[in-house]
Amino acid sequence: MSGNKTRLWLDELQAFGIKLGLENIRTLCAALDDPQTAFPSVHVAGTNGKGSVCAMLAEILREAGFRVGLYTSPHLVRVEERVRVNGRPIPPRDFDRLLRKVRDRVEALLGSGRLPSPPTYFEALTALAWLHFRERGVGIAVLEVGMGGRFDATNIVTPLVSVITSISRDHEEHLGRTIAAIAFEKAGIVKPGRPVVCGARNDEAERVVAEAAAERRSPLVRVFGDGHALSARRGRGRWRFDYRFRGETFSFSPGLAGLHQGENGAIAVAAARVLSRVWHKPIEKTAIVEGLEKVCWEGRLELVRRRPRLLLDGAHNEAGMRALRTFIETDLRRKPVVLFAMMKDKAVGRAVRTLFPAAKAVVLASLPFERAAAPEEILSRAGPFREKIFLEPDLRKAIALAGRMAGSGGTVIAAGSLYLVGEIKKLRMSGRSG
């Protein structure tokens, strides 16, 4: 089967949506000789910040001299972005070859009745990523949970360290309506006897994680408790952070913009220190600081144009909007124009009320996805902000309009969805970004 037809098979798996449970991925990986057991791993869950923490940890481990696999989701432009070794996405030829292998195993399992239903899109990609990491002989893999934790396809690994970044409301239709319920799902990645590094700062969420750790006799490391302290100061246009962890102080300016990246950096520091101890492999302090300062991660306040400045940010829930609003208030001299689009299954109203007060103006654009909220729907939730909102469904024209409104010395921030970030990147690659 050609690469195009195999990718069509993968795309068709999206019709199965989200199916929570581990039996399918266990069965599929067993048929592939359990590639997830071929390397040690760090497993990262959380509502916000998990992608940034994964990128930070991968860069730290590279600086320490290890060959690192990194599995994240979603992708922005090309699906190969999800699967990286030492920062390089899987080559398309290898992706197609391994996808054929996954597909062949799936068809055989379905035919024999060992697999009761086809895997999801995410399950197939997870198996493919682990096959690639095994082939490439990675020394360690950093794995980002897709959604939740307890029933996420990545949760069949037994990691050296589990990491939980933050816990707030998102994916409530799948994970629960309360912080406690969501925390319970995230804490599902905690494995018996394996340490868990917890960056959650909500008392209720932290209590649930602590209970899971105690039940499984897993050492709990509180990133912001037990005498650990994070402070921030502004200098030369960048934030500099000092994080004190177990008697050491780490001073760093992350390669990722925003005050919130200090917290993500602290989580990565704690995870790296715990990992070094349980793995019995050296991860020097210099590698940790260098990794934090060199890290790049697309779609996180990513600067893609200078006049006017265009920043792309994947904030897509209330907590993400709060972090973005803090960036606007602490890092920008004047209010930006916000280019906004969001998925209709998100808390659109809460996001609007959090972010729009910090904007000079808002341009609402359309996205070519069934899940996307129509600009008119977002406008209907805007309440007192309607007077500074402009509708331009055509994304290319919306980018141009936002740029004119910001002026050459101003700033445009595109936010609301990683899908928006991806669509803008596609336009820029084609030279049609306005």
The domain spanning residue 256 has which CATH number? Answer: 3.40.1190.10
Question: pLDDT per residue over 311-335, tens digit each?
Answer: 999 998 888 999 999 999 999 999 9
Same domain for 416 and 309: yes
328 and 248, same structural domain?
Answer: no
Shortest CA distance to 142 belongs to which of 84, 70, 206, 200?
70
Choosing from 255, 275, 294, the residue where a domain stops is 294
The answer on 308 and 281 residing in a single domain is no
Q: Which residues of 155-176 are buried (b: 16+ CB within 10 A; e: fewer)?
A: bbbebbbbbbbbbbbbbeeebb
pLDDT band, residue 238 (cuts 50/70/90)? confident
> For residue range 60-91, what is the model confidence (pLDDT) as tens digits?
999 999 999 999 999 999 999 999 999 999 99
Q: What size, in residues, is the chain? A: 434
Is the peptide bond between 393 and the residue preceding it cis, with omega within 30 degrees of 0?
Answer: no
Q: Is the dihedral of CA 222, 223, 228, 230 positive or negative?
A: negative
- The percent of residues above 70 in pLDDT, for the chain, comes to 96
pLDDT for residue 225: 84
The pLDDT mean for the chain works out to: 94
Residues 220 and 312 in one domain: no
Please, which pLDDT band fits residue 341 given cuts at 50, 70 and 90?
very high
- Are the C-beta atoms of 82 and 129 separated by less than 8 Å? yes
Whether 416 and 284 share a structural domain: no
- Statement to judge: residues 75 and 208 lie in one domain: yes
Q: Average pLDDT in the 36-41 region?
A: 98
The predicted structure's pLDDT at residue 21: 82
Asked if 399 contacts 424 with a C-beta cutoff of 8 angstroms, the reply is yes
- The whole-model pTM stands at 0.94
Domain boundary residue among 247, 275, 294?
A: 294
The reported pLDDT for the residue numbered 15 is 80
**For residue 400, what is the domain's CATH number?**
3.90.190.20
| pLDDT(434) > 90 | no
Shared-domain flag, residues 168 and 289: yes
Q: Percent of the chain beyond pLDDT 90?
A: 84
Of 294, 324, 351, the residue at which a domain comes to its end is 294
Q: What is the mean pLDDT of residues 33-49?
A: 96
Q: What is the pLDDT of residue 402?
A: 98
Range of the domain at 376: 302-430
In a shared domain, residues 76 and 165:
yes
For Cα atoms 263, 269, 274, give the angle at the middle one, nearest 5 degrees. 130
Distance CA 53, CA 381 (A): 32
Evaluate if residue 106 carries a pLDDT over 70.
Answer: yes
Burial grade of 374 (CB within 10 A; 0-12, 13-18, 19 or more)? middle
- For residues 214 and 263, membership in a common domain is answered with yes
Give the model confidence (pLDDT) of 173-218 as tens digits: 555 568 898 999 999 999 999 999 999 988 899 999 999 999 999 9
Terminal C-alpha separation, the chain: 39
Whether the per-residue pLDDT at 169 is higher than 70: the answer is no
255 and 273 in a single domain? The answer is yes
State how many domains the chain has. 2
pLDDT for position 14? 87
Same-domain status, 289 and 319: no
Residue 281 sits in the same domain as residue 372: no
Mean pLDDT in residue range 386-414: 96
